[in-house]
């Protein structure tokens, strides 16, 4: 519009003065008007160029913001943050385990000569947080998990993290630390005690694992696991395997491992083969009632099963409960035991549920290990009753009573009576 008005004005001016000027003056006037038009057009081009540049910058900013929003959205879609806030307590009414200050069951270490007295302890160290990452690199078959709690310093917690899970799962492979194939949490009776009940297994190991899904009901896992601990560890990882059957109301597992046991002799290393098998299952009668149980037979490895760790009295090794060393014959004396756990669960309502369980671990008193370690445990028993109340979604309040007994090969006995409590929020 400005260009039209300018041209019109110039035309009118020219017509007004056309008759009063000479030819040279007319030419000069036309040249001046032409130069004015060129200047105006140049200014318009500059303004248009600036506007175009500003539009490009705006578009780039919009694209950047869109990319940021997409990245945030992808992060939210592919990363799940979860955790548990726990406050656990325990009150001992009879003999207190030697590792005082712990809120988990230590029936395997209950003292024999200490006078009965009431002691209690509480901790928040069982709280944990985890991150589950899906579709690593955009591949839906690749995922990772990192989970830690504060169960350090003997369960007292000192503000430091303890790694529970840290692994990458790619297709059928799992590399990192996670639950051992000898663990049996999936068929364990619900417990208030953070580490479950006597005879259960919650052990986690660094490992390389491969899984076969035979069909929707059947699954087979094999792994190489590092089961080292203390100052006695094997040169090779353990070979473990787990078969799982799950259909309708039935859940069954079968487990096994083979592991090299090694100790340093006076002249060379002494090696033996430890091994073990496990069976477990759960059957749901209906949505409110179930029965579950586990069995282990272990040779040379007691650390897989909860609350069994005991030292070797014959050679004074604190972590030697798997075996003791016979220097005279240059051999390892492997510890042997059978473990049984049976539990029943009932749900009264969406807010109330209860469990009752009985566990026993029986060590082989005819083994060479038993003969060399008469002060070691012969039998452990534990009877449990608990109730769990869920007042709000993801919140559990629980109380659990234990009555147990410890017996050694040389005839000593100790009883335990304790109450475990927990307040738990899961997110």
57 and 188 belong to one structural domain: no
Q: Please report, for residues 61, 77, 268, the alpha-carbon distance to residue 52 in angstroms, rounded to integers and kept in the order given.
A: 14, 37, 83
7 and 102 belong to one structural domain: no
Q: Which domain holds residue 270?
A: 93-123+172-426
* Residue 230 confidence (pLDDT): 54
The answer to whether residue 239 is domain-embedded is yes
pTM of whole model > 0.85?
no
394 and 253 belong to one structural domain: yes
Closest CA to 304 of 268, 280, 284: 280
Rg of the Cα atoms in the chain = 37
The answer to whether residue 87 is domain-embedded is no
281 and 235 belong to one structural domain: yes
Partner residues linked to 178 by β-bridges: 205
* Residue 267 confidence (pLDDT): 73
Name, in order, each residue with C-beta under 8 angstroms of 338's C-beta and a sequence gap of 6 or more: 295, 296, 297, 298, 361, 362
In tens digits, the chain (427 residues) has pLDDT values of 544 444 444 454 445 444 555 777 778 777 777 777 777 778 877 777 777 777 777 777 777 776 665 565 555 678 899 999 999 999 988 866 665 557 888 888 888 876 667 888 899 999 999 999 998 878 889 999 999 999 887 666 777 889 999 999 999 999 999 999 999 999 999 999 998 999 999 999 999 999 999 999 999 999 999 987 655 567 789 999 999 999 999 999 999 999 998 887 777 778 889 999 999 999 999 999 999 999 999 998 888 888 777 665 555 555 567 888 887 888 888 999 999 999 999 999 999 999 999 999 999 999 999 988 888 899 999 999 999 999 999 999 999 999 999 999 999 999 989 999 999 999 9
* Residue 76 confidence (pLDDT): 65
58 and 99 belong to one structural domain: no
* Residue 121 confidence (pLDDT): 87
Domain count, the chain: 2
* Token digits of residue 195: 């580490």
311 and 261 belong to one structural domain: yes
305 and 186 belong to one structural domain: yes
332 and 402 belong to one structural domain: yes
Q: Residue 292 belongs to a domain with what CATH number? A: 2.40.160
* Residue 213 confidence (pLDDT): 95
Q: What would the DSSP string read from start to end of 259-298?
A: EEEEEE-SSSEEEEEEEEEEEEEEEEEETTEEEEEEEEEE
First to last CA, the chain: 66
The answer to whether residue 84 is domain-embedded is no
Query: Of 27, 52, 68, which residue is a domain's last?
Result: 68
Name, in order, each residue with C-beta under 8 angstroms of 399's C-beta and a sequence gap of 6 or more: 192, 386, 387, 419, 420, 421
Residue found under tokens 């069951």: 105
According to DSSP, residue 95 is labeled P
* Residue 2 confidence (pLDDT): 47
* Token digits of residue 194: 């953070």
* Residue 36 confidence (pLDDT): 79
The bridge status of strand 119-123 relative to strand 79-92 is antiparallel
Rounded to whole angstroms, the Cα distance separating 135 from 328 reads 57
The residue length of the chain stands at: 427
The answer to whether residue 160 is domain-embedded is no
* Residue 407 confidence (pLDDT): 94
The answer to whether residue 308 is domain-embedded is yes
201 and 249 belong to one structural domain: yes
42 and 112 belong to one structural domain: no
341 and 400 belong to one structural domain: yes
* Spatial contact of 187 and 251, defined as CB atoms under 8 Å apart: yes
The answer to whether residue 146 is domain-embedded is no
Encode pLDDT of 24-64 as tens digits.
Answer: 777 877 777 777 777 777 887 777 777 777 777 777 777 77
The answer to whether residue 34 is domain-embedded is yes
The answer to whether residue 176 is domain-embedded is yes
224 and 372 belong to one structural domain: yes
């Amino acid at each position: 519009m400005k260009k039209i008005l300018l041209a019109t004005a110039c035309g009118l001016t020219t017509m007004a003065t056309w008759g009063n000027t000479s030819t040279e003056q007319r030419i000069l006037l036309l040249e001046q008007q032409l130069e004015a038009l060129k200047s105006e057009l140049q200014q318009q081009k500059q303004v248009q160029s600036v506007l175009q540049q500003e539009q490009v910058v705006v578009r780039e900013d919009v694209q950047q913001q869109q990319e940021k929003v997409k990245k945030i959205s992808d992060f939210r879609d592919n990363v799940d943050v979860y955790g548990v806030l726990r406050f656990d307590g325990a009150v001992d009414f009879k003999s207190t385990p030697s590792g005082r200050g712990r809120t988990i069951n230590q029936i395997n270490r209950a003292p024999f000569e200490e006078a009965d007295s009431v002691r209690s302890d509480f901790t928040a160290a069982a709280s944990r947080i985890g991150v589950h990452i899906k579709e690593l690199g955009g591949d839906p078959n690749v995922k990772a998990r990192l989970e830690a709690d504060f169960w350090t310093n003997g369960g007292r917690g000192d503000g430091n993290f303890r790694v529970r899970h840290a692994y990458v799962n790619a297709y059928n492979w799992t590399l990192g630390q996670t639950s051992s194939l000898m663990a049996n949490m999936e068929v364990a009776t619900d417990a208030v005690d953070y580490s479950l009940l006597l005879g259960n297994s919650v052990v986690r190991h660094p490992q390389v694992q491969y899984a076969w899904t035979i069909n929707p009901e059947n699954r087979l896992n094999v792994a190489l696991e590092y089961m080292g601990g203390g100052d006695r560890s094997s040169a090779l990882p353990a070979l473990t395997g787990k078969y799982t059957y799950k259909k309708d109301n039935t859940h069954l597992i079968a487990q096994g491992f083979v592991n090299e046991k090694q100790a340093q002799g006076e002249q060379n290393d002494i090696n033996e083969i430890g091994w073990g098998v496990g069976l477990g299952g759960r059957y749901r009668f209906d949505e409110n009632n179930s029965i579950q149980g586990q069995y282990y037979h272990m040779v040379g490895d007691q650390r897989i099963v909860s609350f069994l760790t005991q030292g070797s009295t014959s050679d004074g090794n604190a972590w030697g409960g798997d075996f003791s060393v016979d220097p005279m014959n240059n051999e390892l004396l492997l510890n042997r035991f059978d473990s049984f756990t049976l539990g029943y669960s009932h749900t009264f309502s969406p807010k109330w549920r209860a469990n009752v369980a009985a566990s026993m671990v029986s060590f082989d008193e005819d083994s060479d290990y038993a003969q060399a370690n008469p002060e070691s445990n012969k039998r452990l028993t534990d009877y449990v009753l608990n109730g769990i109340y869920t007042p709000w979604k993801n919140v559990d309040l629980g109380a659990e009573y234990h009555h147990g007994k410890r017996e050694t090969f040389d005839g000593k006995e100790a009883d335990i009576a304790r109450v475990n409590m927990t307040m738990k929020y899961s997110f």
